[in-house]
Amino acid sequence: MCVGIPGRIITVDDPEHRLATVDVGGVRRKINIACIVDEAHPPEACIGDWVLIHVGFAMSRIDEEEAQKTLELLRELGEMDAELEAMHAFDRAR
Amino acid sequence: MKFIDEFRDPAKAKALVRHINTLVTKIPRPGGRPLQLMEVCGGHTHSIFKYGIAQLLPEAIELVHGPGCPVCVLPMGRVDDCVALAEHPNVIFTTFGDAMRVPGSRKSLLQAKAEGADVRMVYSPMDALALARAHPDREVVFFALGFETTMPSTALTVLQAEAEGIENFSVFCNHITIIPVIKAILDSPDLSLDGFLGPGHVSMVIGSSPYEFIARHYHRPLVIAGFEPIDILQSVWMVVKQLAEGRCEVENQYQRLVPHAGNRVALEAIHRVFELRPWFEWRGLGSIDHSGVRLRESFAHLDAERRFSVPNLKIADPKSCQCGEVLKGVIKPWQCKVFGTACTPETPLGSLMVSSEGACAAVYQYGRIDLAEVVRQREAVAAGRQPVGAGSS
Amino acid sequence: MSDGRGAPPRKSPRARSGKLRGDTITLSHGSGGRAMRDLIDDVFVGSFDNPALAPLEDQARFPLAELARSGDRLAFTTDSYVVDPLFFPGGDIGTLAVNGTVNDLAVSGARPLYLTCSMIIEEGFPAAELRRVAASMRAAAETASVAIVTGDTKVVNRGAADKLFINTAGIGVIPADVNISAARARPGDRLLVNGHIGDHGVAILAARDDLALEVPIRSDTQPLAALVQSLLAAGIRVHCLRDATRGGLATVLNEFADSAGVGIRIDESAIPVREAVRGVSELLGLDPLYYANEGVLVAAVPAEDAQAALAAMRAQPAGQHAALIGEVTEGPAGSVIMDTGFGGERIVDMLVGEQLPRIC
Ligand code: SF4
């Protein structure tokens, strides 16, 4: 229901008002980063963050490690699949 | 593009589809009935059609397109209120693009604009606030709608307006909440759903715990799903896996964006600015308790509903319209009596035909190949034979 | 060329004598009097400067025999330009007004020759901007090798028009053996585009500024006549050609499928789309297939000619990014189906109304 798209924060323009610029495939837009800022992660630390952008707000930081884990799992599924396929081919050949 | 292209990889899709195919055979389906999985969110509906996902799935899995398109579930009376606000002489009415086409009982915002109302499309509520700053002599009203994903942006904008003391800005609040509507669907007597794909972007705000009751009390699995096609296929695989293993849990496929506890800053902003309404009206589904929010009393001066008089009439949906049954997954879009005849994207009767996230518009626009197949099957049923699995979408 | 073949153009004593005074266009510039004469002499005749326009008769005149030497049919078209904003990265309303009409002629296989230019100006319009537009029209006409030979100017009350509207009509000559028509698409034909889609639509969307996007994209407005002529010169048996303006690539494909009663299948991953155009589409939930283009054409050619057509396109400046995007099929008639690049497929329909950003 909510168009949300990954982008990367390239500058923090106004830390006090939580304004930053994101880049999405070369397209730039000013967004509000209040939702991804807290004591542990001040505005200045947001540069370089990959975030999910929705209606001009960064709604969440993308956890690159989790993304890798998901992709890794998919890779394993793919390999299992290839093995199964090979087994079937072997069975058929007999 | 990073975090997009990896999740649109056809090779990964093939592997997932094979795993789904294998699992599905292990699930008992009395009478050959297909497994019905509801994607709650309109964003999922859109992806499913855009990438042709339904055709990749086995016939034993049927995707039911749920109520998660905030544009689609907006009742006509509220659209009329928007038009009334927009037609106030001094008002600049700001709205997200796709809300402009939704038909009210007299006209849509697009028509009101053609007739002279100052309706402007914005990308962000912050842009509406900027308009208020730029036009201190005009009243800028922002048409806020959406589920919990969009609520924080409205809340933060309201707080910003308050902090700056901007007096010519107000919000027409139509924000709705996802949990009560899922509950309403689960409580409907004709329920036949076997599992859910949970709304990924809502969940990044509210977290995954609010869905626990679905697994616990209604014994249905739910997997919080991302929006890229691989995300959706993987989530289907996860639901099917639960069903095959006899489990009912809340799982999270969208780990990269959805933390278990949601987003604290966003939730705080929501709670500061909004309070639950006793009930809210949904198009096609009727009134649902505690399913909408409005601005708290302390922000009353920023609430367009309190600031201007709006008609606030309840307008019944057209009689021939079966949006409610489609939303609940009881019938398929093409089974509605007026689908594709009286109700088309050019002349939408029901709101599901308006936004491309609406189930009917999505089927109409993207799905008519399958439709030919469906018509054949319906004829087969009419001729007394059993359909060969009711093809998905 | 107003009065006969080959004769040296007569210079009218009136031409180029007037000088536009003042910084803005007023109603008096449309009144038919001295001020209008000055405006036309200064801004238009000065800019467009060609033998057919200089005499300032009420009509342009051209020798039939000369036209008949290069073909056996005239192509004749008209289009109005109301773009907002008037100036945008990659061009302005003037460039569009020339290239758009040139391209409408070009896709018939015609060699575009003459254009008219009719302007409707809102009073108060800055004279400097009008000069700028006229200069762009001149430059575009030169690039496309066409002459602007007659025109008209009206000035209307403030609010009766939005700044500036331009209408251009154009005439071209179609060579005798050329027969290009949307109805000629045949099953088996290959479909090509000459370059990236969506640039113009996105450039305009960004230039409007209400979405506050910074986009490194310029309009693709360009004349396509040379590209089309090079296809014909290479002996390509072109069945269909159309420029994908409003409604975008999706609309042209649907028109082919409808007119010829055939099906069309395209491959999403083969369609050239720039990264930033994708970025805008993802952000706003829009579909690049429906963006307007001003320098993109779609061609259907027999399968045997497809590679040669691709090579001929790529040899042209307007075709460097040409690509094979799909083929014509038996049917279902009128349907355009796209392989989604993900293993699925979907219908690509005509657009219903305007494409609006999908935000929630
Ligand atoms: S076809 Fe129209 S009226 Fe029927 S359910 Fe769909 S949107 Fe509603």
Distance from the alpha carbon of residue B365 to the mean position of ligand 1, in angstroms = 13
Same domain, C164 and C193: no
Q: Does residue C18 form part of some domain?
A: no
Q: Which of the other chains make 3 or more beta carbon contacts under 8 angstroms with chain B?
A: A, C
Same domain, C125 and C191: no
Same domain, C112 and C242: no
Q: Which domain holds residue C119?
A: 27-174
**Cα–Cα distance for residue pair B138/C5, rounded to 1 Å:** 63
Domain spans of chain B, in order of start: 1-317, 323-382
- C338 pLDDT more than 90: yes
Note whether C359 contacts B50, CB cutoff 8 Å. Answer: no
**Cα–Cα distance for residue pair B120/B109, rounded to 1 Å:** 10
The answer to whether B259 faces chain A, any CB pair under 8 Å, is yes
- C105 pLDDT more than 70: yes
Beta-sheet pairing, A19-24 with B35-41: unpaired
**Cα–Cα distance for residue pair B330/C45, rounded to 1 Å:** 69
Number of structural domains found in chain C: 2
Q: Which of the other chains make 3 or more beta carbon contacts under 8 angstroms with chain A?
A: B, C
The segments of chain B whose pLDDT lies below 70 read 356, 367-393
Write down the pLDDT at residue B392. Answer: 34
Write down the pLDDT at residue C333. Answer: 86
CA C154 to chain CA centroid, nearest Å: 23
Which of C141, C158, C174 is at the close of a domain? C174
- A15 pLDDT more than 80: yes
The answer to whether B354 faces chain A, any CB pair under 8 Å, is no
Same domain, C113 and C205: no
Write down the pLDDT at residue C285. Answer: 86
Structure tokens at C300: 């259907």
Note whether B145 contacts C284, CB cutoff 8 Å. Answer: no
Which of A5, A29, A53 minimises the CB distance to C214? A29
Q: What are phi and psi of C88, to 5 degrees?
A: -150, 165
> Which residues, listed in sequence order, are joined to residue B94 by a DSSP beta bridge?
B120, B142
Which residue reads 């460039």 in tokens? C95
C269 DSSP 8-state letter: G
C12 DSSP 8-state letter: P
Arithmetic mean of pLDDT over chain C: 89
Same domain, C332 and C192: yes
Same domain, C168 and C188: no
Same domain, C215 and C318: yes
Q: Which residue has the higher pLDDT, C310 or C59?
A: C310
Number of structural domains found in chain A: 1
Task: Give a three-class secondary structure readout of B135-189.
Answer: CCCCEEEEEEEECCCCHHHHHHHHHHHHHHCCCCEEEEEEEECHHHHHHHHHHCC
**Cα–Cα distance for residue pair B162/B300, rounded to 1 Å:** 11
Q: Which of B338, B346, B371 to mutate to test the pocket of ligand 1 (most atoms within 8 A of CB)?
A: B338
The answer to whether C352 faces chain B, any CB pair under 8 Å, is yes
Same domain, C340 and C202: yes
Average confidence (pLDDT) over C313-331: 95
Distance from the alpha carbon of residue B63 to the mean position of ligand 1, in angstroms = 17
Note whether C343 contacts B13, CB cutoff 8 Å. Answer: yes
Q: Does residue C2 form part of some domain?
A: no
- C273 pLDDT more than 90: yes
Q: How far is C8 from chain A (nearest CA, A)?
A: 53
Q: Please report, for the domain that includes residue C232, its CATH number.
A: 3.90.650.10
Residue of A nearest to B7 (CA): A71
End-to-end CA distance of chain B, in Å? 29
Same domain, C48 and C134: yes
What's the topology of domain B1-317?
Answer: Rossmann fold (3.40.50)
- Cβ-contact C108, C224 below 8 angstroms: no
Q: Which domain holds residue A18?
A: 5-93
> Per-residue pLDDT tens for B101-160?
888 888 889 999 999 999 999 999 999 999 999 999 999 999 999 999 999 999 999 999
- C6 pLDDT more than 50: no
Q: Output the pTM of the full model.
A: 0.88
Average confidence (pLDDT) over C103-121: 96
Q: Kindly tell me the sign of the dihedral angle through the C-alpha atoms of B313, B318, B322, B323.
A: negative
Which of B304, B226, B352 has the alpha carbon at shortest distance from A5?
Answer: B226
Reported ipTM: the value is 0.90
Q: In which element (H, E) is residue C14 found?
A: none
Helix (H, G, I), strand (E, B) or coil at C173: strand
Report chain C's C-alpha Rg in angstroms.
22
- Cβ-contact B185, B64 below 8 angstroms: no
The residues, any chain, with a CB within 8 Å of residue A83's CB and separated by 6 or more, are none
Q: What are phi and psi of A23, to 5 degrees?
A: -120, 125
Which of C131, C155, C174 is at the close of a domain? C174
Distance from the alpha carbon of residue C264 to the mean position of ligand 1, in angstroms = 29
Q: Please report, for the domain that includes residue A39, its CATH number.
A: 2.30.30.140
Write down the pLDDT at residue C9. Answer: 39
Same domain, C245 and C153: no
Write down the pLDDT at residue B378. Answer: 47
Residue B259, preceding peptide bond in cis (omega within 30° of 0): no
- C251 pLDDT more than 70: yes
How many beta carbons lie within 10 A of that of residue C97, not counting itself?
30
CA A58 to chain CA centroid, nearest Å: 12
The answer to whether B261 faces chain A, any CB pair under 8 Å, is no
Which of C174, C198, C213 is at the close of a domain? C174
Note whether B125 contacts A1, CB cutoff 8 Å. Answer: no
Q: Which residue has the higher pLDDT, C350 or C135?
A: C135
Write down the pLDDT at residue C212. Answer: 87
Q: Does residue C47 form part of some domain?
A: yes
- C2 pLDDT more than 70: no
Write down the pLDDT at residue B372. Answer: 56
